[in-house]
């Protein structure tokens, strides 16, 4: 499953546009459990929770008491697996040192956003190298997504929700201000009966 998810992310098929973050969450969940000894909240959410090393053998992790319930913190691999790291290091443009650097970053910052962004950045390098090699898929639904559609190519620095202004003006307040400006205007004659008709006409 890990191999398939990584392959789909770096080949960027057009049919997968819109679900890339879900696939990265899956890659993160598998990688954290098999390599880093971290477990996540149900559905791969929340920060990674690090299992301590076994005091008798620092090469393995302590298994949690609820090992049979992976969604409650169990299910980590006690002896870290080399396979996910090998799969990532076989991607074009990615070396074993890049994977070790990824491991270090995933251990330092265990919140979901940082871990997913770090995985995305590594996979982006692989996807760019594949594009430069001219590796592409057949047409139709298996065609590679264009750069504008590619989640790996997009920058995530701008917030999706703009900042709120310091002073909020509601529609009701805007109407009151407009009415006040109209009433204070020199052209308005309150003795004229047509003024109210004009306002509420």
Structurally, the chain folds into a number of domains equal to 2
Do 67 and 13 lie in one domain? The reply is: yes
**Residue 186 forms part of a structural domain:** yes
Whether pLDDT at 111 is above 80: yes
Do 20 and 114 lie in one domain? The reply is yes
What pLDDT is recorded for position 72? Answer: 61
Of 122, 142, 162, which residue constitutes the final position of a domain?
142
pLDDT at residue 138 is higher than 50? no
Q: Based on the domain organization, do 18 and 65 belong to the same domain?
A: yes
- pLDDT-derived band at 98 (thresholds 50, 70, 90) equals very high
Helices (H), 50-192: 83-89, 96-108, 112-133, 171-183
Q: What is the mean pLDDT of residues 112-135?
A: 85
pLDDT at 83: 92
Please check whether residues 115 and 194 belong to one and the same domain: no
pLDDT at 154: 61
Whether residue 31 is found in the same domain as residue 94: yes
138 and 195 inside one domain? no
pTM above 0.85, yes or no: no
Please check whether residues 14 and 73 belong to one and the same domain. Answer: yes
Residues 136 and 192 reside in one and the same domain: no
Same structural domain for residues 129 and 78? Answer: yes
In this predicted structure, the answer to whether residue 105 has a pLDDT above a threshold of 90 is yes
Domain of 175? 171-200
Would 22 be classed as within a structural domain? yes
Q: Does residue 7 form part of some domain?
A: yes
pLDDT given at position 79: 86
- What are the structure tokens assigned to 35, written together? 């390599």
Residue 31 has pLDDT above 80, yes or no: yes
Closest to 39 measured CA to CA, from 112, 97, 88: 112
DSSP sequence for 46-90 = EEEEEPPEETTEEEEEPPPTTTT-GGGT----SSPPSHHHHHHHT
**Both 98 and 183 in a single domain?**
no
């Amino acid at each position: 499953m890990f191999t398939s998810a990584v392959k789909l992310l770096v080949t960027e098929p057009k049919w997968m546009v819109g679900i890339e973050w879900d696939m990265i969450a899956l890659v993160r969940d598998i990688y954290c459990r098999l390599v880093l000894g971290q477990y996540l909240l149900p559905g791969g959410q929340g920060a990674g929770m690090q299992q301590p090393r076994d005091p008798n053998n620092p090469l393995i992790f302590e298994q949690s008491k609820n090992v049979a319930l992976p969604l409650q913190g169990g299910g980590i691999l006690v002896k870290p697996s080399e396979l996910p790291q090998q799969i990532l290091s076989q991607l074009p443009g990615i070396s074993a040192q890049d994977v070790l650097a990824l491991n270090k970053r995933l251990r330092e910052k265990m919140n979901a956003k940082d871990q997913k962004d770090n995985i995305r950045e590594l996979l982006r390098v692989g996807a760019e190298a594949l594009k430069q090699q001219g590796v592409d898929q057949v047409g139709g639904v298996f065609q590679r997504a264009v750069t504008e559609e590619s989640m790996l190519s997009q920058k995530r620095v701008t917030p999706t929700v703009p900042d709120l202004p310091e002073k909020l003006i509601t529609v009701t307040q805007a109407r009151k201000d407009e009415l006040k400006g109209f009433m204070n205007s020199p052209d308005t004659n309150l003795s004229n009966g047509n003024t109210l008709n004009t306002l509420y006409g």
